[in-house]
Structure 1
């Protein structure tokens, strides 16, 4: 896809299954009743970030697409189970409110590792220093402050079950920042190797 500027703000991610989106939005609404200090992610933007790339020159976008394709060729599809609300760095001092992953977290981590390896081997990115923690961002705090009401709501939903989803693809996504929030557009979709019951997410 074309961009009007010389760079594109890009990341690799996994979109939420449409069948689960309503349940996640309902969880956001429950948490929203406890606080006015969080800007909640729009339903269509809900996703898992695999690797944030930042502002990338347009001439390198084709290389990122190729890296995504190379990764997808060696990683199988896998099942996820979405469960549990929390916050970084802590529920009492939230910067990012998130939805966690139980089953499938190891497979998503393997996908992230495979993608990072390809990006590093091709000179497109350095290895990340921080540990990858699979999560779907539900909202971000408008300002840094303690929020006991939100912390209580998060603790009450720490084991909240959303349900399973099958991850069969990931995307390279273009993020455009606006005062009202970001808009996302898929640059390329990468289909993972066929899921099967004898090789659950191995690569």
Structure 2
């Protein structure tokens, strides 16, 4: 009998969610980009998020410990403003790996939150990242065009003075589960609102 290891060991990550209204605006912009920027995989609108920590495959018996640490983090966290602003790519200009939407607002609060998640989960066996944290929202992966990716295609996307404003109060963290091959791919396992002082 073949066992599905993903059922036994779910793939989990911690993220800041994005409000559904903003997801719809990002999806509309993505639809306009698909002809000029042919990426193989476009992120489903429901899956848009800001990653804080990728955990990988987790032993089910340790999920409760992860949730308990996230509860502690939320208990000392307060909401902070973020907004979507700008866009760009990671990887070689000829064939970028990632198309991303940038962030603005209280980015130091976001970095502090991410560092808190790293610090609290490390003793549970989830090593801290070596790379500096680069907060963003992944929009697409694996450029598939024959010509170099057009930088002008993303210039002016998500401007600082967008109407309606592309901002929200980041006030919760979510433990997500990845379901490979499913669309949308990410399932919220636990959503924990910030509640410092109350």
TM-score by length of 1: 0.83
Q: Secondary structure at the match of 1:155?
A: coil
* Higher mean C-alpha deviation, range 27-36 or range 71-80: 27-36
In structure 1, the residue matched to 2:18 is 16
* Higher mean C-alpha deviation, range 4-13 or range 157-166: 157-166
Pick from 38, 46, 49: which aligns with 2:48? 46
In structure 2, the residue matched to 1:112 is 114
Structure 1 runs, 4 residues or longer, greater than 4 Å off: 158-162
Kept after mapping to 1: 8 A contact 2:75/2:196? no
Aligned residues between the structures:
190
Change in CA separation of 1:147 and 1:82 when aligned onto 2, cut-off 3 Å: farther
Q: Gaps (5+ residues) in structure 2?
A: none
Q: Secondary structure at the match of 2:58?
A: strand
1:171 aligns with 2:174: yes
Deviation of 1:184 after TM superposition, in Å, equals: 1.4
1:128 aligns with 2:135: no
Aligned CA-pair RMSD: 2.4
Superposition pairs of residues 69-148 of structure 1, within 5 angstroms:
69-120=71-122, 122-141=123-142, 147-148=147-148
Q: Gaps (5+ residues) in structure 1?
A: 196-203
Deviation of 1:155 after TM superposition, in Å, equals: 3.3
